[in-house]
Amino acid sequence: MSGLNIWWEAARPKTLPAAAAPVIMGSAMAFHDGHFYFPAALAALWGALLIQVGTNFANDYFDHKKGADTGERLGPRRATQAGLVSPGQMKRAFSLAFAAAFVVGFYLIFRGGWPVLAIGVLSILFGVLYTGGPYPLGYNGLGDIFVLIFFGPVAVGGTYYVQALTVTPVVLAAGLAPGLISMALLTINNLRDISTDVKAGKRTLAVRFGDRFARMEYLVSIGAAAVVPFVLIYMTRENYFSVIALFALIPALPGIKRVLHGEAGAPLNHVLADTGKLLFLYSLMFSAGWIF
């Protein structure tokens, strides 16, 4: 592989829609309310993508250091564990990605003030602490809550705020949808890796409570995300077309069936792909419905 291809694979591009989806939704809601501001929306998108890439690099580095990535890994190949890059190179890479995100954030901080600074610092901090530090979130069953909050209300609300310079309960409630689907993505990842995580001492919720719990968590997360448009319609008494977001469930149905039928291990990578498509399509369809 060329160096560029190695780093592109290490950035895990299939995870980037999870970062883009809440920015798309927050921007659409700002547009609907007459507050859309393209420079802020673009900066929010770049910042979100850089933080996601930095988090992916950090996970690659810390999982290797902690011995969680081995030859038994069922998910996508990790560059450090595979020997494609050195731990030192990966550490510099995630530091550079987070630094670039902070540079982009200067504009947003100038526009939105200390709330944006707090969101940016916490997002980067938790991106590192997800697998790094003395009490890594992902190793102690706290990753699900982090993903729900930061890929949900924080991301959607933050995107709306840097454009409108205010935020509403409706926007924060809408953020629950991408947060829940992102949590479903993490749940499938943890369900797939139960056996290897047990050996590595990684106590995700799937490890703590078992296979059946993880499958239920996935289904409940998807189901709750499907309910969000109806809650928003009740709150606003408008935006009825936002329910077209439910059509995004169609490509996710094969993955949902796999979960219901008890598939485990590597075949769950297909469910990850289906759920990633669901998240991105949901954000696009919801946004179109909310605007029109």
What's 77's DSSP letter?
Answer: P
Residue with tokens 């297909």: 270
Task: List the one residue out of 129, 125, 124, 156 whose CA is nearest residue 142.
Answer: 129
Domain extent listing, the chain: 3-291
- Is the CATH code 2.60.40 the one for domain 3-291? no
Rounded to an integer, what distance in angstroms lies between the CA atom of residue 167 and that of residue 129? 27
Question: Model-level pTM?
Answer: 0.92
Task: List the one residue out of 63, 56, 10, 27 whose CA is nearest residue 178.
Answer: 27
Residue 165's region, left for phi above 0, alpha for psi from -120 to 50, else beta, is left
Question: 139 near 203, Cβ under 8 Å?
Answer: yes
Rounded to an integer, what distance in angstroms lies between the CA atom of residue 245 and that of residue 229? 8
Task: List the one residue out of 69, 50, 63, 43 whose CA is nearest residue 11.
Answer: 50
pLDDT tens digits in sequence order for the chain, 292 residues long: 567 888 888 888 888 888 999 999 999 999 999 999 999 999 999 999 999 999 999 988 888 887 655 555 556 777 788 788 898 999 999 999 999 999 999 999 999 999 999 998 998 888 888 887 778 888 888 889 999 999 999 999 999 999 999 999 999 999 999 999 999 999 998 998 888 888 778 889 999 999 999 999 999 999 999 999 999 999 999 999 999 999 999 988 988 888 988 888 778 888 888 898 999 999 999 999 999 8
